[in-house]
Every structure is written in C-alpha cells, then in structure tokens.
Amino acid sequence: MINKTGKVIHMKKGMKKEGIITTIILLMFLVAAGMLLSACEGGVIPPIIEHVDGSAATHSQASFDPVEKIETSNFESDSEYLAFVKSNSVSGGGYFGGADMARGVMVESLALDSAGSAPMAAPTAVKVTAGESAQNGADIDYSETNNQVSTVDEADIIKTDGDYVYTISGNSLFIIKAYPGEDAEVISQVKFKSRPTGLFVKGDKLAVIGNFYDNDFFKEMDFRPRQGMTFVRIYDTSDKAEPKLVKDYKFEGYYSEARMTEGYAYLITNLNPEYRRIYPTPVMMDGATIKAMPVRDIHYFNIPYNGVTLANIHAINLADLEASVNSKSIAVENGQNLYMSDKNIYITYTEYINEWEIEQDIILEMMTPRLTDSDKDLIKKIKAADEDLLSKAEKRSKVMQIAYDYMNFMTQEEQEDLRDEAEALLKKKLDEYEHFEYTIVNRISVNNGDIEVEANGKVPGHIMNQFSMDEEGDVFRIATTISQRWSRFAATSDEKMTESTNNVFTMDKSLKVLGSLKGLAEGEQIYSTRFIGERLYMVTFRQVDPFFVIDLSDAKNPRMLGKLKIPGFSRYLHPYDANTIIGIGRDASETGRTRGLKISLFDVTDVEKPKEIAKFTTDERYAQSTAEYEHKAFLFSKEKELLVIPAYSQTYDDWGWEGDEIMPRKPEAVQGYNGAMVFKITKDDIELRGIVDHSASLGGKYYYRPAVERSLYIEDLLYTKSQGLLRINKIGDLSKVKNVELVGEGTGNIPLY
C-alpha cells in the first residue's frame, strides 16, 4: 500500500481489507491536502536550508512561525541581495543583463549619502484650494475622486478642476473644456503606445500613469525588464490645447497603486525580483538616464517567502520636478493590500502556516540519524546547489526522496511507529499556534517625499481590501476574517471543522497590538467595513446581513455597541453624516440567495439598535454595479441630495439570433439598461430618479458589459463617463445638455441622441 508520504510500504499478511481501504483513503486525502496547501501558498515550498550556499544568512528561510517576532533588515551589498533573489526565485532564477553604456543612453547609479539613500532637494509645496476653479479662481462647486482618506488623493481615470475634465479612454488622454456644459468640447487629445490607467491633477501639472512595455524602446535602451515598467508622464497644462511633456519617468515593475498628498505623488510598483548582474536592483528611467535603486534602500523580513514580490515606493514632487525622486522597496508576498494616511503607507499581505511542510521537516529530522554519512553529504550538496540548477521546491523534493527511500526499507511496525511519533510531534507543534493565517502589516512613513520603513507586525486572519484598515492619530485599526479550518487531530467529526470568525485589532506606532474584539459573527465573513472617527461599521454575511457598530474610542478596549440583522449584505459603506451610513450591495432571501442590487440607509443614532431606515432594491435579479467593488465609481453629495452609481442589467430576452450570431436586440426592444442610476437621497429616503443611458456607447459588440465607468458633477451639471462618451445632463431634471464623444483608438465613434 501507499503511505502518506507517497512511498510504498509493505503490508503484513492478515491485514483486514477494511483497514487497508480506510488507510488508503486517509493517506490519499493527506497527500491531496498537502498539495492543496502548497498550491494555496504559491506552489513554492521554502527550502529547508537557510542560504543557497548552506551557510547561515541574515534572512530566514524557515517555515513561517507566528511565534517569532518579525524583524526588518536592509541589504548591505549586491551579493547579499542577489543571494536573497536566488533563494526566493519562483522559477529558479536566470541570468539577465545589459550593457553599462548603450546607444547614447546615460547609465547612472543613484549617488548615496552617508545613510545610503539618494539625496533629496529641499521640497517646495504648492497648495490649491479644493473647489476653486483652476481657470479664474472663482468658487465652483465640483466633485473630487471618492477617496478613502480626505487628505489623500487616489489616482483615477477621470479628474476635474471645475473648468476642465481630464480623462482616459482606450490609449488616449482627453482634456475637455467641460463648463459651461453647452460649450463642452475636447480641447486636446494625447495618444499613448501603452494604455494609461491613472491620473493626478495638481494646478497646471497633470501626471499620467500606466503600464509600459515596448520592445523597440527596450532594444534602443539595451535593457529589457522582463516584467515591464510603469510610466509616469507629467505635463504642463498651462495651455490646455497643447499640453507640454515636462517629465517622462519609467519605473521597473507593474503599476499597483498611486496616492498624492502635500503635492507629492507616491507611486507603488510591484515586481518579482530577477537575478541579474547588470542592474541587480530595480531601475528607474528619467528620460534617457537609467538609475538603479541603492541596495540599502531595499528591505526584507525574517519570515519565509513563498512568492516574493518587491513593493517599490517612489515619491515624485509635482511642485518641483527638478527635485530627486526618492524611492524605497520592501520584499513582501504576492496579493498585497495598501492603505495610506497623510503620514503613513501600510502594506499588508497574508502568511499561512504550512502544516504539510512542518510534517515533512519532522520526518526528515527523525530519519536523519538512520542515514549513511554519504547520504548526509548528498543532502548537504543538494541544499548548497545553485538556485539556477535546482529551485527551492526541487531541493525539498530531492531531500525528502532520500528520507522516503530509507522508509521503504523499514518494517510495517517501524513505519507505523514513525508515523505515530511524527503525528504526535506535529500535533504538539501545531498546538503552539492559536491561528493558522496571519496578516503581516508593514508601516512606511512618508513626509514631504521622505520614505522610511519604520515598523511591522501581524494579526490573525486575512483582510478584504483597503477599507479593512484605518489610522486615527497614532493608532492603526484593522478588521480581519479568520478562515474556516479543518483539523485531522480533533476528537470528533463535529470538532474537525472550525468556523470562520471576524476580529478587530488596534495597534500602536510600532504595530504592537493594543486591543482586540474577537469572535464576531461565527461562520460568516466580512463583506465591508468603514472606519469613521471612533467607530467602525462592519458588515458580515452568510445568510443575513449583520450590520455591526463597534466603538474604538478606547483603543485598548474595542467593544461592540450594537448590530442589526437584515437579508442581504453591503459590499461598500459610505458616510451620509455622523449618524447615517449608506450601504451598497446585494439583496438576498432569508436563506441567503442573492436577488438584485440593493442600497440601504442605516441610522446609527441609537448605537445599540441600528436601523435600516430606507432601502432601494432592483426588480432585476441580476442587476449589478461596479460601485460595489470600485469605490471611485460611487458619487455622492449630501448638499445636492445626489447619489450616482454605474448600473447594468441585461437578460436573456434582450438577445436574439441574427444569422449565425446571437446579438443584442435593437434598443427599442431591449428590456434591460446600461448606464448610470441617479438617485435623490436624503437622511431617510432613497428614490431612483432615472438612468443616464450609455447603452450604445460601446457598440453592439460590447453591449453585454457595464458601460459607465465614473461620474462627477460641476455646479448643476452631472457628467457620466463611459469608454467612448462623456454625457452631460442637468442634475435638476436629468435633461440632456450635451454629448462629448471620446474618439480614439479602441473607443469607437458612435453618434448618440
């Protein structure tokens, strides 16, 4: 038969058939569980050894152990960094390089000061008062991006300064004279080879951000970053008809996030590090100059990496483009979430305890005394092999194969005894852990472009998105879900599966836990959270929607004030005022079956008894809105009693056969909709006023997907944007003012009436 290690063991004569079958099923399950654990954690098993050459290293390569304190280090040399890259390469590495001087391109290393960081010019900040027209200085009422933190702007595909709208469609940037609406028109259009994905506007400076990959350009530069680069092009828009490119940056890695505060744009790019002799560290390009990040500005932690990613943070002074770009990098895992306050960036990711890997280590330790000296030497050679020859997973597999070969020559009784002892040791080890998944939190301070990696910590569970985090004063708050977990060591079948639970933690500046509220909504998971001042509003879901009100005024003692259970759930929460919360998500039956789009108003005046005082639900079961997942698509103004969200609903009846193809029916025959829902919203009521239609803006070919991407307002006008169209309507009666076509590559040119 086959044991749980996948090796053949010899059966004793007289073993009962039922016992053999039971054992085989159990062992097959254990093998599958091990494979699943490995897959869930990136599919790459950390090496047993600590360093590629078998020597001790300053960075740990052991299994993740939540008991150990997380410590931050930075690399002191290229060789140390390259050893780390080799040891943590997903594919085993691979050499890559280029010339130090190429075709007139200047190659420049960042000059280091005594601290090992690039020097920064003294910053000068330019402040523009929100709501002030960029053109004439008059007070014009216009909306801004729906940012999580009011003092921190988030890059988006559309911005306005009250006079002009700046937006991205396809591969083009459009600058539109937007107000008055009757005179709206495209003033200028800038086309890009690579598609832009984000914008910042700061006075007459316009920053355009996007992913960049151009083989011809890289060939010209004699440098090809395998994962591409992120471009940041900064334009002087003093003359809107002819925006002037004044800075052209490219940063290695793919675009992740961007924030702006106090005139500094903070760009975050991600890349899986490569082993290369030329430019070993991430590079940036300022025009035709290539700069490599100083190795001492790259930080790592004493915990294992299953899928190491460098999160690179770059600070760009939009007020003074002659100032140096300051950059830092931290080695994290894939799947990060980012939250930024006006003074800190928090980057998080999830670590899991790998039960299968721990058991393998125990078996290897138990088998080592049985090995011959030659096989012990062989294991040392395997561990010391270059990562280019053997990946981490291959090393572990080969080492364990040696141990399993010895097990094959053990008697049945010896193997059973070994298995029993290994399981006992595994259970003892696992009993040390209260939880088996942890969110790692890294705090990076930002101050006028200065970036410092300052603290890290961990809390049990995983988070949902950026709204799971918040900072109030010097206290960091975070809400997590601890996943359901199966245990083979539980006494009864009922005890083998633990239910999911939800938790709230508060942490100090050093990211040590101050207080916690644990065990909320057992068997459910968090669907939305919103921190507002000293309160947290949280929604969990399995069958009904528990809406929680949690008091955080005492950071050391978070406590639940009240909760409300109603059908459905909210995916996004937004403050209406201090005692009223808007929720957008899904309606659901009492059994948890979802059935349509839902917007709720929650009254939390009586915190112990929150109430749903108003709601809107669609009749269409499959109606949806991108605002459920993308908060920037959510437009709200309390003063204007205005709420706007993208909305889409199509049914099978909206389609018909045309020849050999299923095509959307003609607009007059379609029962669904595709546009922006416009609501009148007050403190106690939500009323759908109408839909601004964009159903034809993408053409029939794309009719089945949501069209509207964003909306904004300027004074009494509502602007709704889809890929090929900016529609302008009066807020008062939603009557049409003008359609501005966004004609560019991939946008189409469709007349709408």
What is residue 125's predicted lDDT score, i.e. its pLDDT? 28
The pLDDT, as a whole number, for residue 497 is 67
Band of pLDDT at residue 117, cut at 50, 70 and 90: very low
Listed in sequence order, the DSSP H helices in 534-623 are: none
Q: List, for residues 507-559, the tens digit of each pLDDT value.
A: 999 999 999 999 999 999 999 999 999 999 999 987 666 899 999 999 999 99
Task: Give the domain ranges of the chain.
Answer: 106-352
Name the residue type at position 618. Answer: T
Instruction: Report the distance separating Cα 328 and Cα 117, nearest Å.
Output: 9
Across the range 337-348, mean pLDDT stands at 97
Q: Tokens for 355?
A: 């039960």
User: Could you give the angle at the alpha carbon of 188 between the alpha carbons of 182 and 191, nearest 5°?
Assistant: 135
> What's the pLDDT score for residue 589?
66
- The answer, yes or no, to whether residue 268 has pLDDT greater than 80, is yes
- The pLDDT tens digits for 444-488 are 999 999 999 999 999 999 999 999 999 999 999 999 999 988 777
pLDDT at position 314? 98
Distance CA 438, CA 67 (A): 11
Mean pLDDT of all residues in 268-289: 92
Token pair listed for 405:
């070969």
Tokens of 332: 């994290």
Q: Which pLDDT belongs to residue 93?
A: 37
Label residue 101 by pLDDT band (50, 70, 90).
very low
Q: Which of 627, 567, 626, 622 is nearest to 597 (CA)?
A: 622
- Report whether pLDDT(133) > 60: no
Read off the tokens for 235: 């334009």
| pLDDT at 406 > cutoff 50 | yes
Parallel, antiparallel, or unpaired for β 289-292 and 72-74?
A: unpaired
Q: d(Cα 605, Cα 462) in Å, to the nearest integer?
A: 30
pLDDT of residue 566: 81
Burial-class residue 492 by CB neighbours within 10 Å (0-12, 13-18, 19+): exposed
The single-letter DSSP state of residue 343 is S
The confidence score (pLDDT) of residue 658 equals 52
Percent of the chain residues past pLDDT 90, beyond the cut: 60
Is the per-residue pLDDT at 47 higher than 70?
A: no
At residue 493, the pLDDT reads: 58
Reported confidence tier of residue 736, pLDDT bands at 50, 70, 90? very high
Mean pLDDT of the region 372-378 = 95
Residue 544: predicted pLDDT: 65
Question: Which one, of 585, 563, 582, lies nearest residue 573 by Cα?
Answer: 582
pLDDT at 384: 87
Interval 596-614 mean pLDDT: 94
At position 85, the amino acid (one-letter code) is: V
CB atoms near residue 385 (< 10 Å): 18
At CB < 8 A and 24+ separation, what contacts does 597-601 make?
597/623, 597/624, 597/625, 597/628, 597/647, 598/568, 598/570, 599/643, 599/645, 599/679, 599/686, 600/566, 600/568, 600/570, 601/576, 601/681, 601/683, 601/684, 601/685, 601/686
**Residue 22 pLDDT level (bands cut at 50, 70, 90):** very low
Could you report the per-residue pLDDT of 165-222, keeping only the tens digit for each? 999 999 999 999 999 999 999 999 999 988 999 999 999 999 999 999 888 888 888 8
How many helices (H) does the chain have, and how many strands (E)? 7, 46
Q: Quick: pLDDT tens for 671-721.
A: 578 899 999 999 999 999 999 999 877 554 445 567 899 999 999 999 999
- How far from the centroid of its chain's Cα atoms is residue 687's Cα? 34
Residue 614, number of CB atoms within 10 A of its CB: 19
Dihedrals phi, psi of 692, to nearest 5 degrees: -85, 115
Q: Flag whether pLDDT at 105 surpasses 70.
A: no
More confident position, 111 or 489: 489
Write down the pLDDT at residue 594: 72
Give the Cα-Cα-Cα angle 368, 372, 375 (nearest 5 degrees). 80
The three-state DSSP-derived secondary structure of 189-252 is EEECCCCEEEEEEECCEEEEEEEECCHHHHHHHCCCCCCCEEEEEEEECCCCCCCEEEEEEEEE
For the segment 609-637, the average pLDDT, to the nearest whole number, is 93
Confidence of residue 23 (pLDDT cuts 50, 70, 90): very low
Cβ atoms of 467 and 630 within 8 Å: the answer is no
pLDDT over threshold 80, residue 53: no
Mean pLDDT, the chain, whole residue set: 82
Strands in 650-749 per DSSP E:
655-658, 661-664, 673-682, 685-693, 708-714, 717-722, 725-730, 736-741
Residue with tokens 């590090």: 273
For residues 312 and 256, give the distance between their C-alpha atoms in angstroms, rounded to a whole number: 10
Lowest mean pLDDT among 47-51, 589-593, 718-722: 47-51
